[in-house]
Chains A and B, each alone.
Chain A
Amino acid sequence: QKEVEQNSGPLSVPEGAIASLNCTYSDRGSQSFFWYRQYSGKSPELIMFIYSNGDKEDGRFTAQLNKASQYVSLLIRDSQPSDSATYLCAVRGTDKLIFGTGTRLQVFP
């Protein structure tokens, strides 16, 4: 079992819709969770982090964490074509981040 799992996608949503990206992790003791956006050929960009159970909102992005079920999700409201990218989930390991393989999101006009 991989430490951080994501559906590779692609997830296709129409412009203006809500995109929901999910991630599960295996280490029940994990404390910190991160979402990175990566455009094709570019490096990952940190867009959200969440440390406590519940929701955290930042603009059009909402991160949701459920430690009991060991999943973290990212919601993107009012999706735009410019949101089309790969979204990487990362979990804090011992002094490093452990990444999933990413979910490719496609937002079509």
Chain B
Amino acid sequence: GAVVSQHPSWVICKSGTSVKIECRSLDFQATTMFWYRQFPKQSLMLMATSNEGSKATYEQGVEKDKFLINHASLTLSTLTVTSAHPEDSSFYICSALPLSWTSGTYNEQFFGPGTRLTVL
């Protein structure tokens, strides 16, 4: 099956610093990648949709200036948490939709293993 990787798998940083998380589709090209956030004992919440070569679309309540998303190629999307604070500590997960995605038909998304961010 298709594989999506995330790097790093975990990161600890000081408050006020910026952290970059990479999401890569290893054996397929992805038109679209999604970024989710998951707090302890809660479900995944969609943060933003990232399309290659265009600006990301953010869900309501997600600060686009704080969570910078870049989708520069069909295999890589990055999420940068700028000026991170302890409340940004969470599990960040990406998923990738293959290039062959077609509206109205079945499409399997492939999820990365997640990145655990701890801000001290």
A and B associate in one complex = no
Chain A residues in the interface with B (C-beta under 8 A): none
Chain B residues in the interface with A (C-beta under 8 A): none
